[in-house]
Amino acid sequence: MAAKSLNILRRPRRLRRTDALRRLVRETHLSVNDLIWPLFVYAGSDSEEVASMPGVMRHSLDSLLKACGEASRLGIPAVAIFPSIAPALKDPIGTHGLAPDNLLFQAVRSVKKEFPDLLVITDVALDPYTSHGHDGLLSHDGKSVDNDATVEVLSRLAVLEAQAGADIVAPSDMMDGRIRSIRESLDAAGHKDTAILSYAAKYASALYGPFRDAVGSKIGKDSISKSTYQMDPANRREATIEVNIDIFESADIVMIKPASYYLDIIREVSDFSKIPVAAYQVSGEYAQIHAAARLGWLDYERTRNESLVAIKRAGANMILTYFAKEVAEEISHGRGCL
């Protein structure tokens, strides 16, 4: 016996009936144009997998070029290159960061030479090069990270990155006043077209652990906390201040980081920002999805795709994600977008 129909005027399920209907009314599409692929490079001759990031490699220079070739073939617009520096080359002031022929500059030069159209993004921060793992220089008493002294070194680092060929420099240090100083230094050195992607609201997150494994920048237990410069995860309004300062100081793109736990921040910033907004789906977000999938507790592809669509839906114009290549592949075999 057929149940009596309810007298319902609006039946939202009508538009969910078939895949074609769902595609027709879909509000958010993730395309390959939205993706930035972070890549790690080290001085070894064979790439090695990062233990806490399945499928993510610490690339040799050769294999970095191969990865960039794949990015290019898949139409991924940009890669972000992070160096993993040998401990012997690190010191408290990150001297190696400014060495003219260091691993990062070599990597950027070879990638730009081989793939001139692929955008290269470089981090502006000292953590890959400092023995203590902080993003900047310590004060004389060693009790804090010295803001102004750090900004000066970072400005020099940004110029060297631009000289090596970086299209976009991305200060990830969270020092105050660095965007303006970096812009002025880039301009003075003739790099007017080098863009600044500012890690504007970067939170002191537990989710960077696997990244610190990847680049070897673990902070000692008794060391200063990164909470003295990265943002408190409990704060929302403060993120709008950070973003506004960086826009005012001439950032070309502002970034929120991490992404999935901070969708409210991405939404809020994208509602008011007149410049593009990026989000960084960080190493710990990637690791969580892999770990749960390995245990058989979550469906890997669905969770991965949902996480990315959610970040886009929250308002991000572009997403740094370790999933970039595999998602680009899925998109290219499918209908052009997720």
- Helix, strand or coil, per DSSP, at residue 81: strand
Restricting to residues 285-314, which ones interact with ligand PBG according to CB under 6 A? none
Site for ligand PBG in 191-210 (CB under 6 A): 208
Helix or strand (DSSP H, E) at 226: none
Of these, 84, 110, 150, 172, which contacts ligand PBG (CB under 6 A)? 172
Whichever of 16 and 208 has its CB closer to ligand PBG, that residue is 208
Give, in degrees to the nearest 5, the angle at Cα 63 between 291 and 216: 55
Tell me which stretch binds ligand PBG (CB under 6 A): 67-75, 119-127, 142-150, 233-241: 119-127
125 touches ligand PBG by CB under 6 A: yes
- Find the helix packing angle between 263-272 and 300-313, rounded to 10°: 30
Choose between 243 and 287: whose C-beta lies nearer to ligand PBG: 287
Q: CA nearest 129: which of 164, 104, 152?
A: 104
d(CA 279, CA 276): 10
Q: Are 75 and 328 in contact (CB under 8 A)?
A: yes
Instruction: Tell me if 161 contacts ligand PBG by CB under 6 A.
Output: no
257 part of the active site: yes
Site string for ligand PBG, 237-276 (x = CB under 6 A): ----------------------------------------
| Structural tokens at position 232 | 């408190």
Question: Is position 151 an interface residue for ligand PBG (rule: CB under 6 A)?
Answer: no
Count CB-CB contacts under 10 A for residue 295.
8
User: Out of 150, 185, 283, 321, which residue is the one contacting ligand PBG (CB under 6 A)?
Assistant: 283
The nearest distance, CB 249 to ligand PBG, in angstroms, is 18
Strand partners, 280: 320
Q: Among 118, 282, 289, 338, which residue interacts with ligand PBG (rule: CB under 6 A)?
A: 282
- Please tell me which residue in 226, 257, 312, 325 is annotated as part of the active site: 257
Residue 53: CB minimum distance to ligand PBG, A: 8
| By the rule CB under 6 A, 338 interacts with ligand PBG | no
Sorted by sequence, the CB contacts under 8 Å of residue 75 that are 6+ apart come out as 32, 33, 328, 332
Nearest to 309 by CA among 333, 325, 327: 327
**Contact at 8 Å (CB) between 94 and 126?**
yes
- The answer to whether 135 contacts ligand PBG (rule: CB under 6 A) is yes
Q: For helices 61-74 and 103-114, what crossing angle results, to 10°?
A: 40
With contacts defined by CB under 6 A, name the span among 27-35, 123-131, 139-147, 288-296 that binds ligand PBG: 123-131
For 71, residues 6+ apart whose C-beta sits below 8 A from its C-beta are 37, 79, 115, 118, 324, 325, 328
130 near ligand PBG (CB under 6 A): no
Type of residue at 40: F
Least Cβ distance, residue 128 to ligand PBG (angstroms): 8
Minimum distance between the CB of residue 109 and ligand PBG, rounded to whole angstroms? 21
Catalytic site residues? 202, 257
What is the binding site for ligand PBG (CB under 6 A)?
123, 125, 127, 135, 172-173, 208, 211-212, 282-283
